[in-house]
């Protein structure tokens, strides 16, 4: 009988790209019985061989502790042979599962949590340093009691030197069928992902003032709004500047926008937490054959320049971003060549198939 695994999160939506579309579906395809417990507006569904159980969205951070207890109770009743969770606040429950069930438990670390604390606006500046050090100690101390840790980048892996089994599974996109690019006369600039100050929404909006008027360019910001000033959410005023906020949309709708766009932006602020990150949006642009403009981090510069898929820019300088975008919008042959080169890099290097093999090998090892 196939092994049963339970994947769970108190924060992420059930259709999260990394959790559902990649990990859960890959495991189900391999023959595992997969239960996924994550945020959803339904109680239970089966999608693509994955049995999904909904968790109510919790907005207040302290209430996530009660959600963790709910997931812990579900885990004890699940009869799973392996548990895989995705939020640092679930670490204590993961350790308890290890002790009580004796089954392997995996912690999936998407972000460098101690560095992330330095970027949280709701945490007072003077306590960020001490809190970051405390979180580092607690997170790593609990993680080493688990069977394995999965990290999304090499730099996060380096934070878990005392853990038993650390595997880097990068968040590259699923192999994407070549999109039917429907370029028209509209110069659409896309940003796909969480929209916040540190992800550069202000600079992207200000960039529009520096683009040549004859381009009549449109900026489409696609994703959930996070800590956006009220004055920057006035849809009528933004539309007058050809700027459109779309909010969270479905995976299929994102593909539609990627097929219609001409340039993708990934201009995150130069904060420590982002320097070694591998934002999924960058690789989705490449997969879609969409040339991009990205922040000038050494790691990102290497990816963009070796793949010849776009330009790097000063993310804090709207004029510099506009200059790079203008180069792409005014040179059809350059834009199309960079899009094709990015697509080739996706097919050969930056896709989920490579990472899927590492996930399956880890599960096989832990369940042998």
Q: What are the residues facing 34 on neighbouring strands? A: 5, 50
User: Which pLDDT does position 62 carry in this prediction?
Assistant: 60
Contact in structure between 363 and 27 (CB atoms under 8 Å)? yes
Confidence of residue 271 (pLDDT cuts 50, 70, 90): confident
Q: By three-state DSSP, how is residue 211 classified?
A: coil
- Could you give the strand order of the β-sheet that contains 292-295, starting from the edge strand earlier in sequence? 243-247, 218-222, 188-192, 263-266, 292-295, 310-313
pLDDT, the chain, mean: 91
DSSP state letters, 77-116: HHT-SEEEE--GGGHHHHHHHHHHH---EEEEE-S-HHHH
Compute the average pLDDT of residues 35-62: 90
Compute the average pLDDT of residues 113-137: 72
Q: Is the pLDDT of residue 330 over 80?
A: yes
More confident residue, 279 or 326: 326
Q: What is the DSSP letter of 195?
A: B
Query: At a CB cut-off of 8 Å and minimum separation 6, what does 230 contact?
Result: none
User: Which pLDDT does position 24 carry in this prediction?
Assistant: 98
Tokens read off for 356: 């899927």
The beta-carbon contacts of 133-141 under 8 Å, at least 24 apart in sequence, are 135/88, 138/91, 139/88, 139/91, 139/113, 139/114
Minimum mean pLDDT range among 26-35, 241-250, 309-318 = 241-250
Q: Is the pLDDT of residue 13 over 70?
A: yes
Compute the average pLDDT of residues 239-262: 90
Q: Is the pLDDT of residue 68 over 70?
A: yes
Q: Is the pLDDT of residue 114 over 70?
A: no
User: Which pLDDT does position 306 carry in this prediction?
Assistant: 97
Q: Is the pLDDT of residue 1 over 80?
A: no
User: Which pLDDT does position 228 carry in this prediction?
Assistant: 73
Q: Is the pLDDT of residue 243 over 90?
A: yes
Compute the average pLDDT of residues 218-246: 85
User: Which pLDDT does position 222 carry in this prediction?
Assistant: 94
User: Which pLDDT does position 165 carry in this prediction?
Assistant: 93
Q: Is the pLDDT of residue 52 over 90?
A: yes
User: Which pLDDT does position 83 carry in this prediction?
Assistant: 98
Compute the average pLDDT of residues 169-173: 92
Compute the average pLDDT of residues 60-87: 88
Q: Which residue has the tokens 């059930």?
A: 14
Q: Is the pLDDT of residue 26 over 70?
A: yes
Q: Is the pLDDT of residue 12 over 80?
A: yes
Helix (H) or strand (E) holding 221: strand 218-222
Query: At a CB cut-off of 8 Å and minimum separation 6, what does 250 contact?
Result: none
Q: Is the pLDDT of residue 285 over 90?
A: yes
Minimum mean pLDDT range among 118-127, 239-248, 284-293 = 118-127
Distances (CA, A) of 224 to 89, 121, 191, 196, 249: 22, 17, 11, 9, 9
User: Which pLDDT does position 229 carry in this prediction?
Assistant: 73
State how far the Cα of 318 lies from the Cα of 307, in Å rounded to an integer: 24
User: Which pLDDT does position 60 carry in this prediction?
Assistant: 62
Q: Is the pLDDT of residue 48 over 70?
A: yes
Q: What are the residues facing 151 on neighbouring strands? A: 109, 168
Q: Please give the domain boundaries of the chain with CATH numbers for all domains.
A: 4-172+352-367 (3.40.50.2000), 188-348 (3.40.50.2000)
Tokens read off for 136: 């580092």
């Amino acid at each position: 009988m196939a092994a049963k695994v339970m994947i769970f999160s108190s924060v992420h939506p059930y259709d999260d790209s990394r959790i559902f579309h990649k990990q859960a579906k890959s495991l189900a395809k391999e023959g595992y019985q997969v239960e996924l417990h994550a945020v959803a507006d339904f109680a239970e569904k089966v999608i693509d061989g994955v049995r999904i159980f909904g968790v109510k969205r919790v907005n207040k951070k302290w209430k996530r502790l009660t959600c963790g207890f709910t997931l812990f109770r579900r885990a004890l009743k699940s009869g799973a042979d392996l548990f895989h969770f995705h939020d640092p606040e679930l670490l204590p429950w993961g350790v308890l599962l290890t002790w009580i069930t004796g089954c392997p438990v995996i912690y999936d670390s998407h972000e460098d949590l101690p560095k992330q604390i330095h970027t949280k606006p709701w945490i007072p500046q003077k306590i960020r340093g001490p809190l970051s050090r405390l979180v580092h100690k607690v997170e790593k101390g609990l993680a080493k009691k688990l069977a394995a840790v999965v990290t999304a980048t090499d730099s996060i892996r380096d934070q878990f030197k005392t853990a038993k089994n650390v595997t880097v599974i990068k968040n590259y996109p699923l192999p994407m069928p070549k999109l039917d690019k429907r370029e028209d006369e509209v110069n659409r600039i896309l940003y796909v992902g969480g929209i916040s100050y540190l992800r550069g929404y202000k600079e992207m909006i200000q960039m529009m003032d520096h683009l040549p008027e004859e381009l009549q360019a449109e900026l489409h910001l696609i994703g959930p709004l996070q800590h956006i000033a009220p004055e920057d959410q006035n849809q009528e005023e933004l539309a007058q500047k050809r700027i459109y906020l779309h909010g969270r949309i479905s995976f299929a709708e994102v593909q539609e926008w990627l097929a219609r766009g001409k340039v993708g932006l990934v201009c995150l602020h130069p904060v420590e937490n982002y320097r070694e990150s591998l934002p999924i949006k960058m690789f989705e642009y490449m997969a879609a054959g969409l040339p991009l403009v990205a922040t000038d981090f050494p790691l990102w510069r290497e990816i963009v320049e070796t793949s010849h898929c776009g330009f790097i820019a000063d993310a804090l300088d709207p004029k510099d971003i506009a200059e790079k975008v203008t180069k792409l919008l005014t040179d059809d042959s350059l834009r199309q060549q960079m899009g094709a080169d990015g697509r080739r890099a996706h097919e050969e290097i930056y896709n989920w198939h490579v990472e899927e093999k590492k996930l399956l090998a880890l599960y096989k090892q832990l369940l042998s």
